[in-house]
Amino acid sequence: MFAGASVIALPVSRLGAAFFQLRTGLAGEIAQKAVDYRLKLAVIGDISRHLAASSALRDWVREANRGREIWFEPSLGSLAARLDGRAGGLPPGPSQTTSTCRRRPVLPPS
């Protein structure tokens, strides 16, 4: 169904302000859909201005980054490191492989 994809890498530039305003429910809906389809969701890019505006968002991002399904990463390189189990000392998850077979995130077409 997903041609072997296991991670959705979603650039911040593709998201509207409503995604970062948790009261809209948009972020939760998108995150839940990814989890329902057993995909990891990675929001890629600088979200510092959104974090500065919302303590609820800061809390959610902090909790999400501790987990294995939803992540906020500053770059594709940091996502690749996380997938390889190097970010923050996280061990590879059960669906991850060793570094001999690296998974590369795939961005949607521009």
Read off the pLDDT of residues 30-75 as tens digits, 9 standing for 90 and up: 999 999 999 999 999 999 999 999 999 999 999 999 999 999 999 9
Alpha-carbon distances, residue 11 vs 72, 74, 97, 99 (angstroms): 10, 10, 24, 24
Query: How many percent of the chain have pLDDT more than 70?
Result: 75
> CA neighbours within 13 Å on the CB side: how many for 36?
6
Start-to-end C-alpha separation, the chain: 22
